Amino acid sequence: MENRSRNMAIACQSLISLLLLSAAVSAVEVQRPRGVSLSKKHFYVEGKPFTCLDGSRTIPFDRVNDDYCDCQDGSDEPGTPACPNGSFHCTNAGHRPVFIPSSRINDGVCDCCDATDEFNSGASCPNTCRELGRKEKEVLQKLAEIAKEGFILKQQLIQEAKRGLEEKKAKAFDLEASKKQLEEKVEALRTVKEAAEEPEKEAKERHLKAWENEKAAIRAEKDNARMAEVFLELDDDGDGFVSLTELQSHSELDTDSDGSFTETEAQGLLGGVDKVDTVAFEAVWKDIKDKYISEQSQVETPHGETREPLPDNDSEHYSEGEIPEEDDDNDDDQEEEDDEEEEDDDDPDDADYNRPPAVQAKKDDEDEGTMPPYDEETQNLIDAAQKAREQFDETERALRELDDQLKSLEKETSSDFGPSAEFAYLYNQCYDLPTSEYIYRLCPFKQVTQKPKMGGSETSLGTWGHWDGPEGNVYTVMKYENGLGCWQGPNRATTVKLKCGKETVVTSTTEPSRCEYLMEFTTPALCQDPRTLDPMLHTEL
């Protein structure tokens, strides 16, 4: 019984002490000047001189909140609009405290949710702090749930990135070993290829030389035949010699091209003699064959048209300058004959005399035909060399592809994907955001593009540059630079702001300034452990 009484006495004493403490706290709260926060309350002690918070001067306490600005920093007027640089503290119990400029005190507009800023304006301001606090708490709770789920996903991403990094390193190790083997194989096949190509080259050169000799023999035979025909054509009197006079009948052989083929020039072509036989004509032929034009192509009509010479048995019926009249009935026959003559131009036996030298030389090359196929021995050497080349090319191509894989792996494994590689899953992924006009595409760590919805080419809005967040939180902003240049402006660039989210998605794209784009991007990789965060900001009473 005695113990029970003692316990009750102790409980009552504790309750009384708590009530007294509460009253003391309330008394202190009442004494705090209007507009002063709890964190600065100890600077404002009633009855003691007040020192401006910037230390510029000390004034009597009764000059605090007297509606006259004594301190340069405005700290003596926390509850009046007297100081233009002063600030008023809204306690906002039940919600979050805020500071507002002193100029808003008693301006008829409710800035504090507890209405303490309009204590003397007559404005009717209800206290909405508890309702605002409730709504904010709901928002924060939802954000905390998102952060919780996102953080769980982030842990999975970190584990996947760790496994992926180990796999990529193991793959790179295997590729390095394969690369070394391929390099050795490439060098061995290079030696085989070069050894096979040497006899192939020699065999091809022998074959080509034989073909060139054969063509030279064909050309020489044709040249001799033509030389004999030209000799007969020049030998007008049939005495077996070509004389100065006979050679001078061909003015195209004029050596200085002055329009006059003199006897001296003709004699120079004949080697200083007056006439040459078939043997001596060979030397003459070398000098004139590129200029010589057959007499058959030099017969012209009075109208300047070149005509084939008339047969000997017909030419005697016409006097010089006369043109035989043709019956209309023979027009069709003449056209058919002309057509036949045109067709006959393809016949080398009938047309060779009328071709210019360069055209004739080309025709001679065509008449020589194509190079004959390689003999069996040469073809075998070619096939062996070709097989060696194909094996070498195939192995070298495989080595290049393997080297590209290695470089890609090295780039990926050396990239900065966050403190725990939580952003690694974004690599090789792209995320689209359609708008009314464009489709924006973000490919993290690579590029940002813009493509018209109605068709057209993509425009680069920047390629991956670096992480660009503030110090201590650098992984909250990505920077993409050096995109397509704007007309008479800078290169396009994009800033990507990252936020915590359960999903990986581009949520918005804007262009705050010309050629400078801003994207917002949610990802679980940015979510923090909700247990380390206070879902409600500290509220001062």
Residue-wise pLDDT tens digits, 491-509: 999 999 999 999 999 999 9
d(CA 491, CA 329): 82
| Whether 351 contacts 294, CB under 8 Å | no
pLDDT of residue 357: 52
Question: What are the tokens at 90?
Answer: 């809204």
- Please answer whether residues 61 and 48 qualify as being in contact, where contact means their C-beta atoms are separated by less than 8 angstroms: yes
Residues facing residue 464 across a β-bridge: 480
Alpha helices in 345-475 (DSSP H): 348-351, 357-367, 376-414
Cα dist from 58 to 35, 49, 50, 64, whole Å = 19, 6, 6, 11
Note the pLDDT tens digit of each residue in 245-298: 888 888 888 888 888 888 888 888 888 898 989 899 888 899 888 888 887 655
How distant, in Å, are the alpha carbons of 38, 95, 141, 420, 538 from that of 130?
Answer: 20, 6, 16, 41, 14
Instruction: For the beta carbon of residue 21, count every other beta carbon within 10 angstroms.
Output: 10
Residue-wise burial string across 153-167, b where 16 or more C-beta atoms lie within 10 A, e elsewhere: bbeebbeebeebeee
Which positions ≥6 away from 88 have C-beta within 8 Å? Answer: 35, 78, 79, 99, 100, 101, 102, 104, 105, 112, 117
Give me the residues of the chain with pLDDT under 70, please: 1-31, 296-368, 533-541
Q: What is the pLDDT of residue 307?
A: 44
User: What pLDDT score does 323 carry?
Assistant: 42
Alpha-carbon span 68 to 76, nearest angstrom: 8
Is-above-0.85 flag for pTM?
no
pLDDT in tens, 15-57: 334 333 333 333 334 468 999 999 899 999 988 999 999 999 9
